[in-house]
Amino acid sequence: MYSEGVMKKPKSKFVCADCGTESPKWLGKCPGCGNWGSMSEELVVSSVMQEGALPSMLQKHATPVRLSQVETAEVTRFSTGSAEFDRALGGGVIPGEVFLVGGDPGIGKSTLLLQTAQLVAGAGFVVLYVTGEESIQQVRLRAQRLGAFHDALYVLAETDVDAILQHVLKLEPQFLIVDSIQTMFRSHVPSAPGSAQQVRESTMALLRLAKDRNVATCIVGHVTKDGTIAGPRLMEHMVDAVFYFEGDRNQRFRILRAVKNRFGSTNEIGVFDMQSGGLIDVLSPSEMFLAERSVGVAGSAVVSSLEGTRPMLIEVQALVTPTAFGTPRRMASGVDYNRVSLLMAVLEKRVGLPLQSQDAYVNVVGGVQMDEPAVDLGIAVSIASGFRDVPIQSGVVLIGEVGLTGEVRAVTHLEKRIQEAAKLGFTRVIAPSGNMKRLDRDSASDIEVIGVGSLQEALRLALGG
């Protein structure tokens, strides 16, 4: 008798924010990825509402075809106008591609994309810049500072994804920028903007639009305190490419790093110089990173790190001092802390350096993050140089991976690293002996390359004793 006045409780489910695993009840540990505390409640949205919210022009249904009968099409990329951005993308933007750009607040994401929008518009393409965080007047002020004006560049202040879809269908741009996905919402989804459900549904709608209309789409994403893009990790699986815009806010340099790219290498990076007038391409990063290097100072070493197809010479500094406490302190900036601890253990056990009572501070100059094993030798030698207070001999570049037994292991693309060192005026390269048999001598004609098999041998050559 009371059933008529009782409202039916909406159905809900619990979804993991990291992997997207669904559960009818809350679980402390996700059964899909094993993470704790990642399950959050979401209201169930009916499929009828989802289909009805999309414009009718986008409601297409594919039919299965034989793979052998699929016609191959020539992939034509268009340039962003920035050589460094094109390098990170894999050669340019592909029509219909959807890529995600994340980075810390204030790092320069909006500046990079507004500059890119102006350059793409200047090449004859229609560009729509959608801002959900700023007014069009604020975007105008930034564009005035950057000089980013063009008749083919349109700006839209909107957060409703369905309204954005309608504007795209009318304007028909070739390049769409959405800044940012955390401010977007779909009216039929019963949750607040920025929630996992809204981010997922908004990304899916933009992805479907890009593929159906062949619109290259760039989505800006916020990052969490851990440095990962906020929202469900499923979003990163949905898009074609994921890029992180990195850098120290107190440094000039910014790096656009690819962590996923279906149409290019995930090892490529773009290097930019942040100036008052915007971001400038850095075509010779090695020269910029070594511009203020002090020669003849203990603890300073030059290493060669390969980022994709580009070798970069970077300075590594190490300061080693006696500890004032019972437990020595270790700090690492730009390199993995655990890797530094491992190399110090190898120096102590295999070389005999008494580092157990020493504080050690290791820093990569320029705010660059290095995770390639080929920089191990340079880090180890810089620590030994700082401990002995003996400078590394001038004109030396150190290349090699260090094993737990103290051996120096071979690295990839040694010829490219040597050519970069010779171009910048270095006279000697200390490299793994395992690379010497396969070394192209023509690439090393202008520089002396010395092969070493152990860390102890490398220290003797680099420090002169």
Which of these CATH numbers, 3.30.230.10, 3.40.640.10, 3.30.460.10, 3.30.470.20, describes 288-463? 3.30.230.10
Residues 301/315, Cβ–Cβ less than 8 Å = yes
Query: Could you read off the pLDDT of 166-204 as tens digits, one per residue?
Result: 999 999 999 999 998 999 999 888 888 888 888 888 999
CB-based contact 301:385 (threshold 8 Å): yes
Q: How many residues does the chain have?
A: 465
Write down the pLDDT at residue 305: 92
Q: What is the CA radius of gyration of the chain?
A: 26
**What tokens does 240 get?**
């074609």
User: Can you tell me whether residue 107 is helix, strand or coil?
Assistant: coil
Q: What is the pLDDT of residue 59?
A: 52
- In this prediction, residue 115 has a pLDDT band, given cuts at 50, 70 and 90, of very high
* Cβ proximity of 286 and 424 under 8 Å: yes
CATH assignment, 75-282: 3.40.50.300
Which residues have a Cβ under 8 Å from the Cβ of 396 and sit 6 or more positions away?
301, 302, 426, 427, 428, 429, 430, 462
Q: What does the angle CA 180 – CA 181 – CA 184 come to, to the nearest 5 degrees?
A: 100
pLDDT for 390 beyond 80:
yes
Contact predicate 84/271, CB 8 Å: yes
Closest CA to 190 of 37, 397, 42: 42
Q: Minimum mean pLDDT among 15-24, 85-94, 152-161, 341-350: which range?
A: 15-24
Q: For the chain, give every domain's residue range.
A: 9-44, 75-282, 288-463
Q: What percent of the chain has pLDDT over 70?
A: 91
Q: Please tell me the predicted confidence (pLDDT) of residue 44.
A: 65
3-state secondary structure of 439: coil
Tokens standing for residue 198: 């809204």
- Helix, coil or strand: residue 262: coil
Question: Which pLDDT score is estimated for 232?
Answer: 66
Q: How confident is the model at residue 6 (pLDDT cuts 50, 70, 90)?
A: very low
The model's pLDDT over 16-62, given as tens digits with 9 standing for 90+, comes to: 876 767 888 888 888 877 888 878 777 665 544 444 445 544 555 67
- Could you tell me which residues are annotated as the binding site? 103-110
pLDDT greater than 80 at residue 442 = no
Which residues participate in the annotated binding site for ATP?
103-110
pTM (2 decimals)?
A: 0.76
